[in-house]
Structure 1
Amino acid sequence: MKQAAYLLFLSVASAVPAMAQSETQGKNTSTSAVISAIVLALILSGIFLTAFLILRPRLPAVYQPKTYRAKPAWRNTEPLPNSMFGWISPYLRNPDREILRINGLDAYSFVLYIQLMVRIFVPIWLLSWVVLMPLFSAGMPHGEGFDMFTFENVINVPSKTQQLRSAGVMILHYILVAWVIYNIHAIMMKFMELRKEFLTSQEHRNTNQAKTFLVTGVPNEMLSETRMKGVYADIPDGVKKVWINRDLKELPKLVEERDKNLNKLEGAVAKLIKTAAKNVKKGKVEAVALSENQEPSLEVAEHYVPANKRPTHRLGKIPCMGEKVDTISYCREEVTRLNKEIAQKREVILDDYENYPPQSSAFVLCNSMLGAYTGSDGKIHPEPHKLAKRYREVHPDDIVWTNMNMNPYERKIRTIGFWTLTVLTIIFWIIPIALVSLFSNVDYLQQNVSFLHWISSLQVASGIPIGVIKAVLPTAALAILNSLLPPWLRWHAKQSGVPTRTGIELSLQDRFFPFQVVQNFIFLTIMGGIQQQEQQFQDAIHEPEKFVATISQAIPAASTFFLEFVFLIGLSGVAAMFLQLVPLIVYYVKIKFLASTPRKLWHLRNDMGAPPFGQLYPATMLVTVLGFGYMILAPIMNGFASVTFFTLYLAYRYLFLYVFDCKPVSETAGLFFKKAINHTFVGLYVSLVVAALMYLFNSGSNKNFIAFGVLTFVLFGLVVAYQVYLGMLWKRSMDEIPALLSQHAPMQQAVTDAPNAPPSLPEKDAYYADAQGGPMVPQKSAAPAHVLQVEDPQVTKEKEEMEEIKTMNAFYHPSRTSTQQIMWYPNDNFGIGRSQVLADQKAGYEATTSHAFLNEKYKIDEDANAPPGEDL
């Protein structure tokens, strides 16, 4: 999983606060702990970057696949020079806008978000260090090292004169929040225009994806193409095609079983050929020359591989149990049987609407994007939950078909249930996090837990510094815990009934971000405060006001925990992203051990990863929350955050330009960015609430603090009001899209008859059509559009016909339309691969050895542009 590998370091680094808790047991050690972390980060980043500079020109498959692998080729970017340092200047000159061209708006908007953070934090860094650091430290009696520069130094001193410095803090708080809001407003104005430009561009608005929407909660009386076309008869430019989803019963499982047998058959044939080559290489059998023109016998493999050495497997679901069968013979027979059964089922399904009834959802393809936007916006049905939930910009490859046939009430119940489970997960994840945090405090445990006294002798016996022991154990444990969350939360989203994969990722973003804030920021901060001020928390546990005051005071003191975390991300984390050590190892391990067939080898060599934005944004935004949360409370964080976001910008910019390949099928046109902007306000709210509580709960020593706390809450209210206003601006701006689309003449696709091509599947309009007694009105075909001929007219016509058929079958369930893959075997000098091709052709389906072969080392290899029959 290349697309997730670079997130591993973020997961590991999220354990750093736990490590820091043990390293900073007293304030007098905070500076040395942070400096030690900086030195470690510099050393690691130096090693990683040196390795990257050496390996980059030698391994283009890892470090710049986006320069030659993308399909279509126009989505590639210009390759970089191969010299060790000569690539830097062309990389920096390559504009960010290139990301938009080659990877889409989601990728570009993520880099735009990192840019926004750089633009925000650099001025905050300079201003806060010039104003706040002298204000917190000059002539103050408390604090040493970095602890001199925290907000508690001016709020917890007995001197009224020194406490007055907090007025300057409040004024600067207003200024910095205003700066943040100004930049958010500016970037959102730019982004909203960019999104409208992207969506209404000719390249996008003329795609079928832009012209299609999904509607759920369709009542039975509307479950026919004619009825649904009647519902949307008044939308601009009309409806081209409607697909009614149906309950296909056992058909999807039959197709899935057939495909599993096909893959197993390819693997078994490849294994048979490799076994034959191994026997020849070891001299166990003599090779018999067979020219390319000779037709091999179907039994040719018997000469090279004994019957007891052929690939076999056991039937049954329990491993190592069940009947043992010859894999090649069994799978070929099963594929033949399943093909016949699938063909029979498909034939029956065409007209059997009683046993395979329509379900409660439909896809609507309009003749224009304006029609799709208009149709998906309007309220159609007066009853709740009927035709109520609609999804724009849907693509067949993005659909989660198992979620298509849920009725709206089931989907609602599932949504509530799994969001409840998500909240419970966030709450109860405190338990394992707390255990990890306890083990980070090894010094406390070895002194106070009798059976752990042996830890103190471990350093002497092993020679390993106790600090390393304290770092490794909690870091590894917390990294494992954090890595379990995204798949678990993604499963919650899927089980909620979300019908698209992009919708699942958007839901994951909403679920994973609260976890990052609650667990990796708030809870770890409180745990750190308890470990540093255990007696104070024990004294305050029964007094809510005192307990809140103690927590608010612990947050600034906990800043050193997160300084190490942020700096580690900004230096060694970013260097590791450039190096891509995990993807590098995974790539070559897979090539060596998992490339068992030509098809698998091709995909390992040519498939590029893309980041899961639902996981990427929350992992990155933890730095945003930390930066804003400590913007006033511990201003030294601002410098660390500035450096981190700048280096993250350089790293992600490189990855999106030269490594990642974000497919148009998963494009949301920046919806992840919009959610990220809303989540960004959480950091501001944390900063304001903590500052206000610190004022109010220390008002006993200075009554002016009450006014400061109230004014801070006023600022909180102003930020909330702006966020609401920004939401209104967003809605107003997006509502302008139909007006922009209406300015463009619709580009109709050519509708042609295709007598020589496979026909598109029909739908039974009569089913449920006259439930309300309404007439069935035949739909007129759109006039063919003029097509500029740039190649042979016959070739152009055939392409148009095939594209039209593909369009008209696009949103039928894949089990109804998918064709069997062309079997792909290695060609070998023994004739085994060609003999298996003949066996497949005799069984009634296609197979080939084209562009697949055994190389001079008797290893499976390929030189194909694409696997046979795969539409890339």
Structure 2
Amino acid sequence: MKQAAFLFLLSVASAVPAMAQDGPQDTSSQAVISSIVLALILSAIFLTAFLILRPRLPAVYQPKTYRAKPAWRNTEPLPSSILGWISPYLRNPDKEVLRINGLDAYSFILFMQLMIRIFVPIWLLSWVVLMPLYAANIDHGDGLNMFNFGSVIGAKSKTQQLRSSGVLILHYILVAWVVYNIHVIMTKFMELRKEFLTSPEHRNTNQAKTFLVTGVPNEMLSETRMKEVYADVPDGVKKVWINRNLKELPKMIEERDKNVNKLEGAVSKLIKTAAKNVKKGKVEPMALSDAQEPSLEVAEHYVPANKRPTHRLGKIPCIGEKVDTISHCREEITRLNNEIAQKREVVLDDYVNYPPESSAFVLCNSMLGAYTGSNGKVHPEPHKLAKRYREVHPGDIVWTNMNRNPYERKIRTIGFWALTIATIIFWVIPIALVSLFSSVDYLQQNVPFLGWISALQEPSGIPIGVIKAVLPTAALAILNSLLPPWLRWHAKQSGVPTRTGIELSLMDRFFPFQVIQNFIFLTILGGIQQQEDRFQKAIEDPPQFVATIAMAIPTQSNFFMQYVFLIGLSGASAMFLQLVPLIVYYVKIKFLSSTPRKLWHLRNDMGVPPFGQLFPVTLLITVLGFGYMILAPVMNGFASVTFFTLYLAYRYLFLYVFDCKPVNETAGLFFKKAINQTFVGLYVSLFVAALMYLFNSGANKNFIAMGVLTLVLLVLVIAYQVYLGFLWNKSMKEIPSILSQQAPMQQAVTDAPNAPPALPEKDAYYANAQQGALVQQQSAPAHVLQVEDVQASKEKDQAEEIKVMNAFYHPSRTSTQQTMWYPNDNFGIGRSQALADQKAGYESTTEHAFLNEKYKIEEDAVSPPGEDL
């Protein structure tokens, strides 16, 4: 939800007066009404813009229909008519997300479905039963505040107090409904996860057969020794990579790559400068045929020496020797390539200066071997061979964290979790300032220099309800957007060795922050602000103080209703519109497409959802919904609408916009965490209700029994969550047995004469055939295979095998220099620079990149030269 901050800032500018009301009105209810009106208006604007722009801008609104690689991961394109897309979109099954984007993406859609299935019946039941029960014969409260638990628990009437027994019964029913649905979905998901992991398409990949082990002791840091350790795993070990401390080599690669990118940019800039001079008539074009081999001097005709791209050496900007960028970068690349080649020769055999480190990657011959090896304990001492990571991919590794020993990683983990906790604690300061906006009535009356707020309520001004609805929500959205990058850095610095592990750690850090700061603290602080006198009287009586806090919590539901509803309508419609990505896309195309490579990536790279951030943001709505489902049942309707609209929006994004790469697949581990964190909402609901019963037992002794029964339900829910964890572990332990049952069948197919190729290779071949068919605009049955040249097939297999055997060496040991890619211009500058690169000893090309008739850089490449996508 990157556009959240922008959305709510826009909502401030788009605010409109609410309908005028006669007489006094509860300003909290006015704020909710204002937010509903505002959300409806913004939603209409965003959706109208989306309907108009969608068919005109496929690069923004449906890139997943033609950009994915391999081509079989694309989805069917939608009709281009304004409304004709709706029916095909709704008919497209949710399982299509699983096919094109994997189990993590599909599990997020499952989570949204689960919330809809839970909240819609709760909405209907609570509004039919609870709201009349709360509002009947009420002797205090007005507006939406009459529909909260305090109307029963704090009422003076004995009849009203007795109604709390109905609340208790319904609380049991609703919690049982939530737990039942969680049980059903988790049972299905556990089977789906096992099916996904053990499918031929997955189990035959090298990712499924590889695990990372950390904490390897020095005496075991060799491929031979590690193969001996795991000699008994089923089907054996194919390859072991020992991580090594390469010292300065990674920095040399990084420096070379910087010069490569700088050289591409400088040549492209030189060509554009030449084109600009020709266009303005400052220079006459030279006649140059395609057959001619241009020299570097051709650029001098079009661009004077003092106009060539230059930069200064040194780390401090504007200080240092000024050099010609093209000449300097080419010399540096040549020098660094020679030094890197020499250093790699030294590293190959020098285990003294470049020693092995405490981690190793183990590639087994089967997925069963990887699971068996990663599950078994092979060393008696703690911290040695103790931490293992399955399903690792070279593209997912954070190489800077690979050299950390177990003790350093432990210390870092403790230290950065302490920093995360400190962030949560001290974030109360900006959150407290946010909460002040929701109490502008109090501010304008008690803070002298804020008296001007009352002027906004004039007939021509902004109603106070809009201020209370929009400003806190906008500020909260902006504050929330600042946290994920900071907390993600905590996870990385803790020593987590994979990017998916960092996202999972981010989820563990960001969710507690959401609950503690954005829910609990904000609720308590708002209650104190609204009932200052009552809190001052109770401050010296701890039990009474807790009771006062508990009584204040339901009254804060109105602020969260505004937040939930604005997210549900305005947020969901903004996700359809993709306003921020739309603006960013065209700004980047116009101002940042300085080379063919950058232009290609801007056009073809698709968005990837950060699940470690996406789930906690969604879970906050879940916790708010569960937390208030009894305390303030009006919230149930808001939560139902919000989850339904978010489901439609995210479903569209995962089908047509997002591209989740298999390299980052966790097979649903985010979903498992999300289900566990969902229980927090139930705990909040039960704990607060129990407190309200117990601390109001002076008014009705029956409240003691009701409070105890509520706590009993809380214990039962905790016990179920523990049981659910047991079920998960038991289910996942069945994976090796499933794989062992599949092994004989797989071996029989492999040993059969003239057997077809294994599924991953076959699927890759089909994908290539389909991609070629798309290019030629021809259709053919997917099962028809073209006969490939025997020698070409052999070379292809050898190249693939080399790639596999080098997969988990540090990239600085195996990576090759990127092929230089320049625009092919009529002046011969691009070709002359490519020839100079080739003479310097590295690859360079001008194919599929050119200047168009407007002298702007264009490209028509399937993929950038030298990049393995």
Q: TM-score scaled by structure 2?
A: 0.92
Name the CA shift for 1:31/1:437 in 2 (closer, same or farther; >3 Å).
closer
Could you give the per-residue CA deviations for residues 505-544 of structure 1, whole angstroms, max 9, x where no partner exists?
A: 0000000001111111111111211121111111112221
The whole-number CA distance in structure 2 between the counterparts of 1:836 and 1:512 is 49
Could you give the per-residue CA deviations for residues 831-853 of structure 1, whole angstroms, max 9, x where no partner exists?
A: 00001001111111110000000
Residue aligning to 1:717: 715
Task: Judge conservation of contact 1:446–1:456 (CA < 8 Å) in 2.
Answer: yes
Residue aligning to 1:508: 506
Residue aligning to 2:753: none
The whole-number CA distance in structure 2 between the counterparts of 1:520 and 1:546 is 25
The whole-number CA distance in structure 2 between the counterparts of 1:514 and 1:233 is 43
Could you give the per-residue CA deviations for residues 788-845 of structure 1, whole angstroms, max 9, x where no partner exists?
A: 9952222221111111100000000000000000000000010000010011111111
Name the CA shift for 1:124/1:27 in 2 (closer, same or farther; >3 Å).
farther
CA offset at residue 743 of structure 1?
Answer: 1.3
Residue aligning to 2:292: 294
Residue aligning to 1:609: 607
Name the CA shift for 1:126/1:480 in 2 (closer, same or farther; >3 Å).
closer
Residue aligning to 1:37: 35
Residue aligning to 1:832: 829
Residue aligning to 1:844: 841
Could you give the per-residue CA deviations for residues 649-686 of structure 1, whole angstroms, max 9, x where no partner exists?
A: 11111110000000000000000000000000000000
The 3-state SS of whatever aligns with 1:95 is: coil
CA offset at residue 469 of structure 1?
Answer: 5.7
Match of 1:810 among 807, 810, 814: 807
Q: Unpaired segments of 5 or more residues in structure 1?
A: 751-787
Q: What is the identity percentage for the equivalent residue pairs of Structure 1 and Structure 2?
A: 83
**Aligned counterparts, 1:164-175, within 5 A:** 164-175=162-173
Letter in 2 for 1:645: F
Letter in 2 for 1:860: I
Match of 2:649 among 648, 651, 669: 651
**Aligned counterparts, 1:1-20, within 5 A:** 5-6=2-3, 8=5
The whole-number CA distance in structure 2 between the counterparts of 1:100 and 1:11 is 32
Name the CA shift for 1:175/1:10 in 2 (closer, same or farther; >3 Å).
farther
The 3-state SS of whatever aligns with 2:361 is: strand
- Tell me, yes or no, if structure 1 residue 627 matches structure 2 residue 625: yes
Letter in 1 for 2:518: N
Q: Unpaired segments of 5 or more residues in structure 2?
A: 751-784
Task: Judge conservation of contact 2:627–2:685 (CA < 8 Å) in 1.
Answer: yes
Letter in 2 for 1:851: H
Residue aligning to 2:193: 195
Letter in 1 for 2:852: N
CA offset at residue 476 of structure 1?
Answer: 4.6
Task: Judge conservation of contact 2:538–2:548 (CA < 8 Å) in 1.
Answer: yes
The 3-state SS of whatever aligns with 1:558 is: helix
The 3-state SS of whatever aligns with 1:359 is: strand
The whole-number CA distance in structure 1 between the counterparts of 2:574 and 2:732 is 39
Name the CA shift for 1:136/1:448 in 2 (closer, same or farther; >3 Å).
closer
Letter in 2 for 1:844: G
Task: Judge conservation of contact 1:56–1:63 (CA < 8 Å) in 2.
Answer: yes
CA offset at residue 324 of structure 1?
Answer: 1.1
The whole-number CA distance in structure 2 between the counterparts of 1:152 and 1:429 is 29
458-467 or 574-583, larger mean C-alpha shift: 458-467
The 3-state SS of whatever aligns with 1:595 is: coil
Residue aligning to 1:862: 859
Letter in 2 for 1:519: Q
Task: Judge conservation of contact 1:632–1:687 (CA < 8 Å) in 2.
Answer: yes
Residue aligning to 1:487: 485
CA offset at residue 472 of structure 1?
Answer: 6.0
**Aligned counterparts, 1:266-665, within 5 A:** 266-453=264-451, 456=454, 474-665=472-663
CA offset at residue 570 of structure 1?
Answer: 1.2
Task: Judge conservation of contact 1:311–1:328 (CA < 8 Å) in 2.
Answer: yes
Residue aligning to 1:755: none
The whole-number CA distance in structure 2 between the counterparts of 1:15 and 1:639 is 25
Match of 1:107 among 96, 100, 105: 105
CA offset at residue 292 of structure 1?
Answer: 1.1
Match of 1:53 among 29, 51, 57: 51
CA offset at residue 712 of structure 1?
Answer: 0.2
The whole-number CA distance in structure 1 between the counterparts of 2:856 and 2:457 is 49
**Aligned counterparts, 1:126-141, within 5 A:** 126-141=124-139
Could you give the per-residue CA deviations for residues 478-501 of structure 1, whole angstroms, max 9, x where no partner exists?
A: 333221110010000001100000
Residue aligning to 2:759: none
The whole-number CA distance in structure 1 between the counterparts of 2:786 and 2:82 is 46
Letter in 2 for 1:606: N
The whole-number CA distance in structure 2 between the counterparts of 1:440 and 1:132 is 26
Cα-Cα RMSD = 2.3
Match of 2:140 among 136, 139, 142: 142
Q: TM-score scaled by structure 1?
A: 0.92
Name the CA shift for 1:468/1:154 in 2 (closer, same or farther; >3 Å).
closer
Name the CA shift for 1:566/1:463 in 2 (closer, same or farther; >3 Å).
closer
CA offset at residue 310 of structure 1?
Answer: 0.6
Match of 1:181 among 176, 179, 183: 179
Could you give the per-residue CA deviations for residues 109-150 of structure 1, whole angstroms, max 9, x where no partner exists?
A: 000000000000111111111111111112222222322211
The whole-number CA distance in structure 2 between the counterparts of 1:295 and 1:517 is 67
Name the CA shift for 1:467/1:640 in 2 (closer, same or farther; >3 Å).
closer
Name the CA shift for 1:457/1:639 in 2 (closer, same or farther; >3 Å).
closer
The whole-number CA distance in structure 2 between the counterparts of 1:385 and 1:666 is 27
CA offset at residue 320 of structure 1?
Answer: 1.2
CA offset at residue 31 of structure 1?
Answer: 2.5
Name the CA shift for 1:143/1:464 in 2 (closer, same or farther; >3 Å).
closer
Task: Judge conservation of contact 2:505–2:612 (CA < 8 Å) in 1.
Answer: yes
The whole-number CA distance in structure 1 between the counterparts of 2:99 and 2:496 is 29
- Tell me, yes or no, if structure 1 residue 672 matches structure 2 residue 675: no
The whole-number CA distance in structure 2 between the counterparts of 1:715 and 1:461 is 51
Name the CA shift for 1:467/1:181 in 2 (closer, same or farther; >3 Å).
closer
The 3-state SS of whatever aligns with 1:361 is: strand
Name the CA shift for 1:10/1:374 in 2 (closer, same or farther; >3 Å).
farther
The whole-number CA distance in structure 2 between the counterparts of 1:727 and 1:5 is 33
Could you give the per-residue CA deviations for residues 386-438 of structure 1, whole angstroms, max 9, x where no partner exists?
A: 00000000000000000001110010111111111111110110012112333
Letter in 2 for 1:445: L
CA offset at residue 446 of structure 1?
Answer: 3.9
The whole-number CA distance in structure 2 between the counterparts of 1:800 and 1:5 is 43
Task: Judge conservation of contact 2:35–2:470 (CA < 8 Å) in 1.
Answer: no
Name the CA shift for 1:162/1:474 in 2 (closer, same or farther; >3 Å).
closer
Letter in 1 for 2:675: I
Residue aligning to 1:784: none
Name the CA shift for 1:480/1:307 in 2 (closer, same or farther; >3 Å).
same
Task: Judge conservation of contact 1:627–1:638 (CA < 8 Å) in 2.
Answer: yes
Letter in 1 for 2:486: W
Task: Judge conservation of contact 2:438–2:559 (CA < 8 Å) in 1.
Answer: no
Name the CA shift for 1:539/1:170 in 2 (closer, same or farther; >3 Å).
same
**Aligned counterparts, 1:201-212, within 5 A:** 201-212=199-210
Name the CA shift for 1:470/1:564 in 2 (closer, same or farther; >3 Å).
closer
Name the CA shift for 1:10/1:464 in 2 (closer, same or farther; >3 Å).
closer
CA offset at residue 43 of structure 1?
Answer: 0.6
Residue aligning to 2:760: none
Task: Judge conservation of contact 2:12–2:471 (CA < 8 Å) in 1.
Answer: no
